[in-house]
């Protein structure tokens, strides 16, 4: 592929990171001359070090702070349908070893060697999020390869979210193959049944990343009264009901999400043990505290309060406030689960503000378990952002 353009690291940039597996090249690390800036977003190029030695084949987006994403360590690789199918096959092989049913994250972006691309599988359907320009340009080829490798009948492109904006990509929603499901898809997970709205739901329709944390929570919830705050479609609440919880209350600001939680409970024949409240989570927790309400297990799984470094300080304050408001709602000897999906807030920072918030809520705690995303969300060791999810399990004294 010698006809590809070349982008070159500046003399002071260190190529060792790329050689050792770091997948990103930042705009201030390369020589951005007129030819580099003229490269069409999503095109491929050969990355060279300052001595003009090839380092990797990259995809280029001059409109992004991440100007280059490593596609292949072989600078002579050809990115086409066969190359994509190879990466998908490798990703599929791992998931099929891990899971009995075809419900999982199939592609976790850089960690699966497909930078900026997320694919969640829902049986015979798949939802892809092309959050990098190359994946958006090659969405058709990806969908074709996906159907060939996995046998899915429907492929939906969900082009929404903050990540696309950072790449200069427009929002779009499109059915690339097959037909969109006419009703939410039933997803079995940890003995519970969830409903995923593949066209109208948040992101791909369901969050698979919390699967192991749902499972750990289930060990705490038999016969328990459970409060699931920021519940979305009932992630922790439905898992608790499946494990024999006496009752679960789900609080979320989205009426459609709560409707899906109700639908999941009905599919499990557990609707009489579920209550829903559509409300701002902070106001709802304050109201419950005024009533003197307490639960055996309280789970708070909010959206990313710190999606970027500039938002970190405010985000950490928000996480601390969540802990402070939730702690009084836990019965003596009960459990509080606090989660963060903010990659900008590392585990140490999140743990510190959570503990401080519990203390400000007038409670003492023991940290009994720390959870992360499931193995269908692998972490690329060189890229901390791929290990974004944190779940802290506390036991609270009286």
Is the model's pLDDT at 125 over the cut of 90? yes
Give the sign of the dihedral formed by CA 326, CA 278, CA 210, CA 320.
negative
Q: Are 243 and 191 in contact (CB under 8 A)?
A: yes
User: Is the confidence at residue 1, as pLDDT, over 50?
Assistant: no
Fold of the domain built from segment(s) 185-396: Rossmann fold (3.40.50)
pLDDT tens for 342-372 read 999 999 999 999 999 999 999 999 999 999 9
Do 299 and 337 meet the contact criterion of CB atoms below 8 Å apart? yes
Confidence of residue 165 (pLDDT cuts 50, 70, 90): confident
* DSSP letter (8 states) at residue 169: P
Domain boundaries, the chain: 6-72, 81-177, 185-396
Kindly report, residue by residue over 209-241, the tens digit of the pLDDT: 999 999 999 999 999 999 999 999 999 999 999
Give me the pLDDT at residue 201, please.
Answer: 77
The first and second tokens of residue 196, run together, are: 């995923």
pLDDT value at 163 more than 90? no
Query: Does the pLDDT at position 185 exceed 50?
Result: yes
The shares of helix, strand and coil residues in the chain, as percent rounded to the nearest 5, are 35, 30, 35
Q: What is the pLDDT of residue 2?
A: 60
Sequence-distant contacts of 314-318: CB under 8 A, at least 24 apart: 315/342, 315/344, 315/345, 316/345, 316/349, 316/350, 316/353, 317/353
CATH superfamily of 81-177: RNA methyltransferase domain (HRMD) like (3.30.750.80)
Which class does domain 6-72 fall in?
A: mainly beta
Give the DSSP H/E element, type plus range, for residue 8.
Answer: strand 6-8
Overall size of the chain counted in residues: 398
User: Which residues are annotated as catalytic?
Assistant: 341
Residue pair 39/62 in contact (Cβ under 8 Å)? The answer is yes
């Amino acid at each position: 592929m010698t006809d590809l353009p070349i982008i070159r690291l500046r003399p002071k940039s260190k190529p060792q990171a790329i050689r050792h597996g770091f997948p990103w090249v930042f705009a201030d690390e390369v020589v951005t001359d007129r030819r580099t800036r003229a490269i069409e977003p999503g095109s491929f190029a050969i990355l060279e070090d300052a001595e003009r030695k090839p380092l990797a084949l990259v995809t280029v987006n001059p409109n992004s702070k991440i100007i280059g994403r490593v596609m292949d360590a072989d600078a002579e690789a050809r990115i086409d349908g066969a190359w994509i199918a190879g990466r998908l096959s490798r990703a599929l092989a791992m998931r099929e070893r891990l899971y009995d049913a075809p419900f999982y994250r199939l592609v976790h972006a850089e960690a699966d060697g497909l930078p900026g691309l997320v694919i969640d599988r829902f049986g015979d359907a798949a939802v892809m999020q092309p959050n990098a320009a190359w994946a958006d340009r090659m969405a058709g080829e990806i969908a074709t390869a996906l159907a060939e490798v996995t046998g899915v009948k429907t492929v939906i492109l969900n082009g929404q979210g903050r990540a696309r904006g950072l790449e200069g990509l427009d929002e779009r929603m499109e059915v690339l193959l097959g037909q969109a499901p006419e009703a939410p898809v039933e997803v079995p997970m940890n003995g519970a049944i969830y409903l995923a709205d593949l066209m109208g739901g948040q992101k791909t329709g369901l969050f698979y990343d919390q699967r192991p944390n749902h499972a750990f929570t289930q060990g705490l919830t038999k016969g328990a009264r459970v409060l699931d705050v920021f519940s979305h479609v009932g992630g922790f609440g439905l898992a608790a009901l499946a494990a024999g919880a006496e009752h679960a209350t789900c609080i979320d600001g989205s009426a459609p999400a709560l409707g899906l939680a109700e639908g999941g409970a009905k599919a499990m024949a557990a609707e009489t043990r579920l209550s829903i409240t559509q409300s701002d989570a902070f106001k709802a927790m304050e109201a419950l505290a005024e009533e003197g309400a307490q639960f055996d297990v309280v789970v708070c799984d909010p959206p990313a309060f710190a999606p970027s470094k500039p938002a970190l300080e405010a985000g950490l304050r928000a996480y601390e406030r969540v802990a402070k408001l939730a702690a009084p709602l836990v019965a003596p000897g009960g459990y509080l689960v606090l989660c963060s999906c903010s990659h900008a807030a590392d585990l140490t920072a999140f743990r510190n503000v959570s503990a401080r918030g519990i203390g400000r809520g007038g409670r003492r705690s023991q940290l009994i378990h720390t959870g992360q995303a499931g193995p269908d969300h692998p972490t690329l060791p060189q890229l901390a952002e791929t290990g974004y999810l944190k779940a802290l399990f506390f036991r609270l004294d009286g």
